[in-house]
Structure 1
Amino acid sequence: MKWNHHYDAQISNTIPFLDSLSPSMVVHTSSYDANLASTRDYLKKKNIQVVHASSLTKDATVFNIADSGFTNVSDSFPDIPTVSEEWYQEDGYWKYRLSDNEMAIGWRKIDNIYYFFNGKGQMQASKWIHLNDSREKLEGNWYYLNSSGKMQYEGWFKQDGSWYYISSTGARLYNELAEIGGKKYLFDKDGKMLTGSQVFNGKKMFFASSGALETDETGSGWQKIESNWYYFDEEGKQIVGKKEINGVTYYFDDKGVMQTGWVSIEGHWNYFASSGAMKTGWIKDKDTWYYLDKEGVMLTGLQEIEGTRYYLNASGAMQTGWKWFDNHYSYFTSSGAMKTGWLKDKGLWYYLDKEGIMQTGLQEIEGARYYLNASGAMQTGWKWFDNHYSYFTSSGAMKTGWLKENYLWYYLDKEGIMLTGLQEIDDTRYYLNASGAMQTGWKWLDNHYYYFATSGAMKTGWFKDKATWYYLDKEGIMLTGIQEIDGSRYYLNTSGAMETGWKQLNGNWYYFQADGSLLRNGTTPDGYKVNQDGIWSLKPDKEAQGSSEEPKKDYDKPVDKEEKSAEAIEKEEAEEIKSTLKADKE
């Protein structure tokens, strides 16, 4: 088997490993032997042949294997030229080339300074290394390689928050009480300097934060050491953690130092006065208020304190003004108390329910409805929401019923919704346009004319507009044509206006009296008779002759024949006068 290829004495080159493979020989491929003495003894005991396949003077080691044994063929090769030792970099690591052109492995003293190179020849730095091993701690001394790879020599050294002391030999001190610079210091099994109350060789000792020994066999009670206060029980044991002393609670850190100010204990913040006494209740620290319960724990979030709710943020600070938490806004006054009910802030009104939650949208409050926008501000005037308009007065209350604004009337139902179109309100019909404004006068709706009085009420029956009479049925629709109304017939033209006098309709002549009603079974003022249907009837002799004569009219008014002859005579006389004048001119 190949042996010591990676300078590994702890995993592959072990006795259990050899037992597992049971080799008849091992080939040692390096000039540096990192194996343990016990392993080498085991090879001899088992009579396992060791072949050293390395050379400090040859580029390669070549063997000829035969039944008679091994022949080192490489002995016939020329020797490696001697080179100067030097530092060089490879793959980001510093390495050291020896005079035989091999790289340095393990501990190497260069220019009177110790360095350590791993199995790949890479210089190690900023780490602890044992003198006899590159992988695990063995019994013996540990040494520190600084960032330059140099072994650290005598003096104090701090790593990961712990202090170590390195002796003049380069080995760190451990498991001992050592005198350094005239003071005594205690180091644990890992070489870390200890502070506070310690027991060494059965003797109680106290070490200051600097590590220097302060007292032996410390007494009980309060003691001030290096400006810090400590408390020792009757057995002289240093107190750590929370401790009630004469009815007052104090806190001592893991070094026994009494704490003041803010201290985190078991995931909670506590506050200790300058005397060390733990505070409870309200405290003011740097202009900010905090609250600590009876256990001294700083509270956060929404808290009810003496019947009033307060909000303390994640840092415990009491909050004022608007705050967003639990998916809603709440308001806290300058005293920190949560506000409920109506609130005026920067000229705007807001409403917060009994839980202090700012309300939005349409809300019923003390019997009145209000609209609060997405920011919670109370709205006034016209507002569009839920696909309709509503109106809110200057007090914010929703308006219902009739509303007059900018000389226009609007109507809002019991839900406050502005109505449009034809609406029946208190048994009267009104027309409200698309903007909700109440309309008056003539309006064309659903292919009909309607008329709305100045009050907005829809008219029905007879009414007079600009000296003209119109008739609207019980639905308010303006009627046209011949209509039977209250037992009488009337003629309403295409504009709805009631007509009087003679009218030719469907080839028949009718006479409508001054009140607009159709004359039936009677004689017209100009002497014509109409039948029971109101139709003008010709005299019998004319009817026999099939006369097509129709009433002559002055605006549909029949004219008698004598008047017609007189007109003809007058016309003839006028023509004669014109002829005479013409002749005189000629």
Structure 2
Amino acid sequence: MEKKVRFHLHKVKKRWVTVMVSTAALGLLLLGAGSVQADELASNDPASPPVEVVTSDGLSDASDSLSEAPLADQAVPTSDGDLSSQALTAETSTEQVADQASIDDSGTANASPAEPSQTPPEADETAPSSGDQTKPSVDTPRSQFVSDDQGNWYYYDANGQKLTGFQTVDYLQLYFHADGRQAKGEVVTVDGSSYYFDKDSGEIYRNGFASDAAGNWYYLGEDGKAVTGLQIIDSFPLYFYPDGVQAKDAFIVFDGSSHYFKAGSGQLATDGFFSDAEGNWYYADPTGQLVTGEQTIDSFHLYFYADGVQAKDALVERDGKSYYYDADNGRLVTDQTFVLDGKTYTADTTGVVTQVPQHRNQFVSDDQGNWYYYDANGQKLTGFQTVDNVRLYFHSAGRQAKGELVTIDGKRYYFDKASGELYRRVYPITIDGVAYTADSQGVLTEVPKYRNQFVSEDQVNWYYADDAGHWLTGPQIIDTFNLYFYEDGLQAKDALVVRDGKTYYYDADNGRLVTNRPFVFDGKTYTADATGVVTEGASYRNQFVSDDQGNWYYFDGDGQLVTGFQVINGQQLYFAKDGRQVKSGLTKIDGATYYFDPDSGEMAVNQEREFWQKISYGEKLIPVYRYFNADGKMAVGFQDRDGQTYYYDEDGIAVRSVHLYNANVHSDLYSAGVFGLRPDYLFDEKTGAMKRNTFVYTTALRLHEPHIGRLPVPCWVYCGSDGLAVTGWQVINGKTYYFYPESKFRAESGLETIDGKDYFFDSDSVLVQDLTFTLDQKFYRADEKGVLTKLESVADQFVYDLNWKRVSYTEANGEVRHGVMIKRDFVLYFKADGSQAKGEFLTIHGATYYFDEDSGEMYRNRLATDTNGDQYYLGGDGKALTDTVFEHDGKSYQADSKGIVTEKD
């Protein structure tokens, strides 16, 4: 009777290992064919039970021969003494599955492993191993196998002693643990070498693959030992770690060169590109070495770093020159201009990069008479732009359109030859012999009848006019595509058409004849052959199928194409009504927008995705972000997530570095700020999170002198705990500010009239309170609430000069005080210009004094430090001590002739 083994997906974590194997030796191994046979390890059902032993005559696909009745798992016993029964832990999610091996009733693999040419360590055909043995009783078994109630097997020799270690019983080489328990279905390490013993017979396993309970794979050689190091098995280079575990999804260094062994089969990657989980790309040459440095592959110039990672979207320095490698394909960029990190560069025909000089807010022409415009950041404008109130257009490279007809997003526009202004007049203009009229947006319409073109008034029903202006009918070939038009000229789309007794199907989107693929029409599955002739039904079951145009379909168990949302192999997918899998990125379904990966087709769930989108008035691409919820639908409006609030406009684009006004975004995507509008909410420019409890800088149009007009000026708003911009009087961090109710902007430095009262805000926009001050030679008094009273004069009080940022004192007679002043036992000093000395050393009548930086009080009996770090001691009269030794706070000091103090030991 033949037993079948069903297999399990095994996992090994990616590892970097450095081994001393020469590249030349590896090349010779790749050229030769090994004598050992191995199974190819391929991905399959992860729910299957684990495989214990694998034998095969060659590498092959096991997916078609999996048994539905797996053998029961056996427990793996723990070894004693110097033996270690290995149950290695899986370390990665890389999956593998091996071919099954048929096991006959005797428990021997059908592969019939050869007798070993070398006896395993301590092997003995009959004699038991030494150790503590109890004297057998009269009923002790002899020369036979015995099992216990847990299913473990033992062998008693003729003396009634349990066998241990390597033994040959009935011509089978077996192994018994120190307690006599027979090793079955497990990896055992003896004297540093690993062995595997059959799960049924317990016989030592040779010349084949085996896996342990942790899913690690080994290859057992002719002597039964697990091989190590680089091996050629079935003509495939493989690598095994010192413990015998096969390397998979791992980088191994041979003689200074890196090599990669694949995740599934463990085979050495050669002669091609591959990528790691972080998205880094590598290239392995025909010998398996990862290339580094400058390389020419498929006629393209590429660059690889020292670790083998391909350079992409990066400047690379070579021989003192800079080169740029494309962000998408990594190819050397030549003969073009590009922007990197906000700077403009030009690559010449050899790829050498130089930075382009910056121009700002000006037109610049080249030596061929082409014009360009550089904005305030020194970047060339592209697309539609308004400069000096004139609507212009700049091509993708920045060249201004002048005297030419330009097609943009399927619409035609004309720009004046002299000024470049967009033509927006109703009366016709003749361009290249053809008359056009333009609407208010500048879109041109050809005046004559239609000729050799598709025509549609509603963008749904389409016709085609020939060179005489007549609608085509019947089957037609236009631009090499087979189309069909009904008798009235309407193009057939998503329709079965019967011609000459045969049925044909025309695509729902482009109306082209469908060939060589299945499709769904009215809920039924059809197949179109190479000529487009349609038959109903298909022969595929539970599998993906692709057509010659790269479209994918999935047939269920009844052979019908699935449509709509489907979960297949754990992935959420979507299939159009004709059965084609949707892999088109953003896709609208039943009014909601979803995202399906262009490669796998998997639906984005609970994740933010980056997109590149043109600005509304040009060709420049900028990154925008959309978020897809748990049901896959694109987020729109306010969204709370991870303790933060975000906002997505009607197109699902996250608002970043722009303002939201009454739940409507009033900003172009390219704009970093908003002019002339009043913000209610503001959002972080990097994360999109709503700003809360913080000042935010913006710009606005504010009226200046009438002859100047409205110019952008910096403004500040403050977002409260609810994210709304605050208004009115606000105390923030102990300081008082005012925010205008209409604009939400903070009142800036200067005099302001609010609700009929005058206030003054200092240079930090903080309200001035409880202070007498002079400004522009006028006196004011700000009370405790900041309300200003203009004073005709001041007397016997301190006055703060806002122009000069200094304090003076006005005597009772109106004169400004100079020199020493004693007030409330404080000694103050006013300099010749009337300003009070604060935070400074002064030499007065040959003596040095210091005055406190806040109060202006003269220091007495204390130390002070100048800006150079030198210390002085001011005595009881305020004078700095010189040429003396003194005590202060229990320490001795020496003052030199200049008054500089040092501490004495």
**Same fold? TM cut 0.5:** no
Rg larger in structure: 1
What TM-score bracket applies, with the shorter chain setting the length?
A: 0.3 to 0.5
Q: Which has the higher contact order (CA 8 A, sep 6+)?
A: 2
TM-score (norm 2): 0.23
